[in-house]
A = this chain, B = another copy of it.
Amino acid sequence: MNHLKPLDSMDRRILRIVQRDASLTISEIAAQIGLSQTPCWKRLQRLEALGVIKRRIAVLDPKKLGLGLTVFVSIEVGQHSGEELTRFVDCVSSMEEIMDVYRVAGDVDFVLRVVVPDTAAFDVVYGKLRDLIPLKNVTSHIALENIKSETAFPV
């Protein structure tokens, strides 16, 4: 299932294009990288088969959906059993307002990115978090401004 050839420069150029605009046709992509359509299409197929391209999605505008508030939540869990932690992680993951969950090293254990309409909605999420298991410390950082939000990786 893995790559025999890693990824050559043509593959990378294709990836750079489609991770910014997946609505382009094969012909347009092929023209941009200086290849004809057939090999370009085959490379795209291969990149999808390898799982380098995971899926294609539509990116929505959170503001226009009434989701104006982003909050970063840092959590210190303190002492807990494995089952308690598993339950905590499962519940947190299942909450749709919680977009990202990372376990991190350092003075905190988890970092969450929460997207909600307003502070009232965030308060609900915050309450749910505190009710899951006793947490040693929960710190919230409300986003005042989204300066950059990039979905395209440097390839």
CA distance A72 to B60 in the complex (A): 24
**Cβ-closest chain B residue relative to A155:** B65
Are A144's CB and B22's CB within 8 A? no
Whether A20 sits at the interface, judged by CB under 8 Å, is yes
Are B104's CB and A147's CB within 8 A? no
Copy tally for this chain in the complex stands at: 2
Contact of A70 with B102 at beta-carbon distance under 8 Å, contacts A54-B60, A57-B56 already known: yes
Are B21's CB and A102's CB within 8 A? no
Contact of A101 with B148 at beta-carbon distance under 8 Å, contacts A142-B106, A153-B60, A155-B60 already known: yes
Shortest beta-carbon contacts, A-B, top 10: A101-B148, A101-B147, A18-B58, A103-B145, A104-B141, A96-B154, A102-B143, A22-B58, A22-B56, A23-B56
User: Residues of A with Cβ closer than 8 Å to B?
Assistant: 7, 15, 18-23, 50-62, 64-65, 67, 70, 72, 74, 89, 92-93, 96-108, 110-111, 115, 139-155
